[in-house]
A and B are shown apart, each in its own frame.
Chain A
């Protein structure tokens, strides 16, 4: 089955620094990748949709300059949290899809970000 690898699984960083999270589709080409944020015991909220070779589409209320998304290849999308602050601490999850029929099937294992 399709596998999506997300790295790192957890990271602690100092306030004001930037952190990059990678999402890779290991055995398929992902035309679209999605980035979600999840607070403890809460639901997932879509942050942005990333299509290979084009700019990401951000959801309303998500700061584009704070959360930089790059989808440079069909197997890799990255989320960079810039100038991180404690309120950015959260669980970030990516999802990847081959095509429209594949939407919703495969998620990465998530990244727990703690900003101190």
Chain B
């Protein structure tokens, strides 16, 4: 069975600075997706970034980038130039691909990020 672990329950960062959120996962699968989601106080789940396991290049979306280390099963999220609107709970998630793909997302425990002015 797959598991996703986020070992940082809470983090804080000063506005305009950079912060990195950690995520590790365990799987015997070779073909999968990894996601980072943001859940602000409104509780709307927002997809931040997605990484296909077969791609060696790290995904980036504007101020958000990932460091995907497949061998180490690590998938960290870097937020550059942090903004007050980045304050949210962040979830790392895993989805298996292939013939057994059901779209099931396995979420980590979440990291609450507070951006301070």
A104 near B44: Cβ-Cβ < 8 Å = no
Q: A100-B101, A100-B103, A110-B43 are in contact. List 10 more A-B contacts (CB 8 A).
A: A41-B89, A43-B109, A43-B110, A45-B107, A49-B102, A93-B45, A95-B45, A103-B33, A104-B33, A104-B93
Task: Using CB atoms, name the residue of chain A closest to B97.
Answer: A100
B103 near A105: Cβ-Cβ < 8 Å = no
Chain A min CB distance to B88 (Å):
12
Chain A min CB distance to B43 (Å):
5
In the bound complex, CA of A93 to CA of B50 (Å): 20
Task: Using CB atoms, name the residue of chain A closest to B112.
Answer: A41
For A, the interface residue count at a CB cutoff of 8 angstroms equals: 23
Q: Is the interface of A mostly helix, strand, loop or mixed?
A: strand
In the bound complex, CA of A32 to CA of B104 (Å): 11
- Residues in B whose Cβ lies below 8 Å from that of A54: none
Task: Using CB atoms, name the residue of chain B closest to A103.
Answer: B103
Q: Does B53 contact A (CB under 8 A)?
A: no
B110 near A42: Cβ-Cβ < 8 Å = yes
In the bound complex, CA of A105 to CA of B95 (Å): 12
B105 near A104: Cβ-Cβ < 8 Å = yes
* Among B35, B42, B44: residue with most chain A CB under 10 A: B44
Chain B min CB distance to A80 (Å):
21
Task: Using CB atoms, name the residue of chain B closest to A107.
Answer: B45
A46 near B45: Cβ-Cβ < 8 Å = no
A104 near B101: Cβ-Cβ < 8 Å = no
Q: Does A12 contact B (CB under 8 A)?
A: no
Q: Mark A84-113, 1 if CB is under 8 A from B, else 0.
A: 000000010101010010011111011000
Between-chain CB contacts (< 8 Å), 29 pairs: A32-B103, A34-B103, A34-B104, A41-B112, A42-B109, A42-B110, A43-B108, A44-B45, A44-B91, A44-B105, A44-B107, A45-B107, A46-B104, A46-B105, A49-B102, A49-B103, A57-B102, A91-B43, A97-B103, A103-B95, A104-B35, A104-B50, A104-B95, A104-B103, A104-B105, A105-B47, A106-B47, A107-B44, A109-B42
